Amino acid sequence: MVSAQSLRRVNFWGGAITALTVVLAIIWAFPLYWGVISSLKPEDEVVRPYIALWPETLTFQHYIHALTATQIGNWYINSVVVAVGVTVITITSSMLCGYALSQLSFPGRKLLWWVILASFMVPTQALIINHFVLVAQLNLLNTWAGIMLPQLIHPVIIIVYKQFFDQVPRDFREAAVMDNAGEFRILSKVYLPMNWGVTTALAIVTFIWTWNAFLWPFLSVTRTEMMTITVGITQVNDAFGVYYARELAAAVLAGLPVALAYLLFQRKVTEAITLSAGIKG
């Protein structure tokens, strides 16, 4: 029987861990709160030397400026087209590649698998120069295709799909083969219905990754009207200096879609992150 002293000790450590978690959550969330609140302040309040946790004068003029005096509409369209395009192509190609590596036998299969594993360990930033030269030679700078192409390959997604397909019992495939089903039919009718949850989770995370991407879209686009939202918000400035509240308002508008996506699909996002962490571990 558990003694009262043991229960008090458990309750103490449980309370301490809970309090620490709350403190860490506040520390993490404070910059987000500060950014949103500062975007609702007049510029003179933002640059004051002391900290005010709530605006003395609440204003939406910076959001109005971002929506009416910039090309944020074009930036949103570009981001949506690029993010959706990258997500659809990446998920489709990764699924096909993972299925082939898992279920088919062909020359060079093991070599291809090792190449994918090796590419997983190469940081994307190390390939930026190669990507830029190739895209420039193809005359795809300042185009949607030029922004999308280097972002289409995510080895971790191929690895996740292969591992999932490896776990599906072979009896399902053998039964489909006995019914004279082709490979595409086996994939679409047998394997795909079993991994809709995995596919949805990976698609959401891929969309968020692509939406938040900055370095490559920043390098591959020089025309303002072709910028994605993450790059376009850097153009919300003034000839007479930087207006911090305007910048913050544009940043809030840029992050709003992915924040809503995370809130709506939190469970799927967590599932995909868990799958990715399992691969990396």
Specify whether 167 is located in the same domain as 53: no
Report which of 131, 93, 90 is spatially closest to residue 215, judged by C-alpha positions: 131
CB-based contacts of 230-234 (< 8 A; 24+ apart in sequence)? 230/79, 230/254, 231/75, 232/70, 232/71, 232/72, 232/74, 232/75, 232/78, 233/75
Q: Do 116 and 204 belong together in one domain? A: yes
Give the range of the structural domain holding residue 35, as residue numbers without chain letter: 4-62
Domain boundary among the residues 13, 29, 62 is at 62
User: What's the structural domain count of the chain?
Assistant: 2
My answer on whether 173 and 224 are in the same domain is yes
Task: Based on the fold, state whether residues 50 and 124 are members of the same structural domain.
Answer: no
Q: What pLDDT shows up at residue 240? A: 47
pLDDT score for 239: 47
Do 36 and 139 lie in one domain? The reply is: no
Please list the residues that pair with 92 across neighbouring strands.
none
Q: Cα(179)–Cα(192) distance, rounded to whole angstroms? A: 18
Q: What is the DSSP letter of 241?
A: B
The CATH number that applies at residue 121 is 1.10.3720.10
- Farthest CA pair distance, the chain: 76
User: Do 123 and 100 sit in the same domain of this protein?
Assistant: yes
DSSP character at residue 180: T
Domain final residue, candidates 46, 62, 78: 62
Per-residue pLDDT of the chain (281 residues; tens, 9 = 90+): 445 555 565 576 777 888 888 899 888 888 888 888 888 888 888 877 777 778 888 888 888 888 888 888 899 999 999 999 999 999 999 999 998 898 888 888 889 889 888 887 888 788 888 899 999 999 999 999 999 999 988 888 898 888 888 888 877 787 887 777 778 888 888 888 877 778 888 888 899 889 999 999 999 998 989 999 999 888 776 544 567 888 888 888 888 888 887 777 777 667 666 655 554 44
Question: CB neighbours of 57 closer than 8 A, spacing ≥ 6?
Answer: 41, 42, 45
Residues in the chain: 281
Check whether residue 96 and residue 218 sit in a common domain: yes
Q: What was the pLDDT predicted at 271?
A: 65
- Give CA 217 to chain center in angstroms: 14
In this structure, the answer to whether residues 254 and 240 fall within a common structural domain is yes
Instruction: Tell whether 145 and 251 lie within a shared domain.
Output: yes
Instruction: Mark whether 38 and 101 lie in a shared domain.
Output: no
- The Cα–Cα gap between 231 and 244 comes to 16
Q: Which 3 state secondary structure label does DSSP give 246?
A: helix
H-state helical runs in the chain: 4-39, 43-46, 61-68, 72-103, 109-120, 128-137, 144-148, 155-167, 170-178, 183-186, 192-194, 196-212, 215-220, 229-232, 244-264, 266-280
How far apart, in whole angstroms, are the C-alpha atoms of residue 124 and residue 246? 31
